[in-house]
Structure 1
């Protein structure tokens, strides 16, 4: 966090309406009395609260690029999880609102990702001096045709994106717990997607994060050199499998290379992994998956934790 943000007792962006400013003072902990206690997820049960055996969900680090971290829902081999992409931010003043608007109005680069949010007429965000992010969004942002699990994931999608944007921009103290308060048209205790009860401070739920995903390269990039894959696993103590599939013809692929990789265990960046392969020109798909499936023939459908299509050569 920058010095200005640290000195500020409550930081409000100019675009935040008066009702949201009042909500930040009363709900986001700018005073020491009467602050609501954070929950892991709106509507979370006790079994969802992470303990020592749960995967970790560390915050993003501060960066100087104009990219905004945006989380999406993604279909994987055994369910739907949260995944992250970096998107062009467009030089907007409020990095949190910018990332959230991208999340609600843009399509993800990866076709396996999606978002149940809709473009809102109104969206504002602010940060208090006690590491609380308050987001106020109009009711038209919610797609009411989603089921309960998707609604829970979508609320966490907002929590992850807001906290990631704030951490990347250096607006919060990443060494302290970060919470998010979600308001709907300036009001608390609303139902998100007509299913999830709001009104509490929320924190990241690690159980909703994908077991592994590829950070770089992003979907559809072209490469003129070796393929260097960088990603992250929430299971730092387990080796991952990887495959590089070559597109033999439209709709047909074969495993060109495969192997395993051990995620790093450094305390500052647990679970990060990388591997590099040299490839001849062509179209490829790189995948990360459980170790025991690294040498398996790929099946149709979503059989990996994450995958990206890349092109090598001119």
Structure 2
């Protein structure tokens, strides 16, 4: 695994073989080829993020793996990518060869020597990748997340670029050096059609701002999504001090939208002066229980 990944995650008890300190419960249980349903980890809705819609931006939607509490989920960033290849190929190449903007995320994929994608019919994405992309030592649960990371990224890129209608279920077939039946990361047999597995995507997810961006002073637009429509969310904004320590600045609650077409979306518009900030959004706990599935993001206002 890349030195950057290892350095960033050796101290964290993830499911990387050789780095395990304690087992991490799977949000939807072990997943195999073609599996689309998941079981129940408490506090984790067994749903997948709505498929991305067509956008005019040239940025590629890329999913990464990240940790929230005792669970491991998929999170999305939009990335600038070269336009020499088709949208699905360049999104997957970014997923396999680049590092996430958010230091809380990572990818176990390696930069492949060959990568090609095509679309069959109206709803099937074919991905043919070289064997060297799988040169990371993972256990079965993390291997399932890595394969779903590819499925989510491929389907997101196809839908957001308009190559496939986002109103239907999109499936992905993964080939390795042109062949089926390859054991991905030595655990997940490839070749069958696969779709997005519920429970893999983060239950709470900040969309904008992305990690490390600079925004104009005044009313700052914050958007995100919860996989549970109509859920109550708590948010907190920390502001950096002269000693670089971030202190609580604003707190509040909001409700994720329940309307069709906007399901789970939440928006905030706090007025912020110039400074460095950290945003935290989480599902509100019940009673005296702790908040769940927090996502965090750092950004600056200038």
> RMSD across aligned C-alpha pairs, in angstroms?
2.5
Q: Could you say which residue in structure 1 is the equivalent of 2:266?
A: 273
Where in structure 2 are the equivalents of 1:1-314 lying within 5 Å? 41-43=31-33, 48=38, 54-225=46-217, 226-248=219-241, 252-292=245-285, 305-313=294-302
Q: Could you say which residue in structure 2 is the equivalent of 1:33?
A: none
Residue 296 to residue 42, structure 1, CA distance change in 2 (3 Å): closer
Q: Distance in 2 between matches of 1:83 and 1:152?
A: 15
TM-score normalised according to structure 2 size: 0.82
Q: Which moved more, 1:169-178 or 1:53-62?
A: 53-62
For the 8 Å contact 2:204–2:283, the answer to whether it is kept is no
For the 8 Å contact 1:99–1:162, the answer to whether it is kept is yes
SS of 1:160 mapped into structure 2: helix
Q: Distance in 2 between matches of 1:200 and 1:118?
A: 22
User: How big is each residue's C-alpha offset from its partner over 1:148-168, in whole Å with a ceiling of 9 and x where there is no partner?
Assistant: 111100000000000000001
Q: Distance in 1 between matches of 2:245 and 2:197?
A: 37
TM-score normalised according to structure 1 size: 0.79
Q: Distance in 2 between matches of 1:80 and 1:49?
A: 15
Q: Provide the aligned length of Structure 1 versus Structure 2.
A: 267
User: How big is each residue's C-alpha offset from its partner over 1:109-155, in whole Å with a ceiling of 9 and x where there is no partner?
Assistant: 00001000000000000001131000000000013311211110000
Which consecutive segments of 4 or more residues in structure 1 shift more than 6 A?
44-47, 295-298
Q: CA deviation at 1:47?
A: 6.3
For the 8 Å contact 1:288–1:305, the answer to whether it is kept is yes
> Gaps (5+ residues) in structure 1?
1-39
Q: CA deviation at 1:198?
A: 1.4
SS of 2:154 mapped into structure 1: helix
Q: Distance in 2 between matches of 1:174 and 1:46?
A: 17
> Gaps (5+ residues) in structure 2?
1-29
Higher Rg: 1
SS of 2:269 mapped into structure 1: strand
Q: CA deviation at 1:57?
A: 2.3
Q: Distance in 2 between matches of 1:47 and 1:62?
A: 26
For the 8 Å contact 1:254–1:297, the answer to whether it is kept is no
Q: Distance in 2 between matches of 1:161 and 1:77?
A: 23
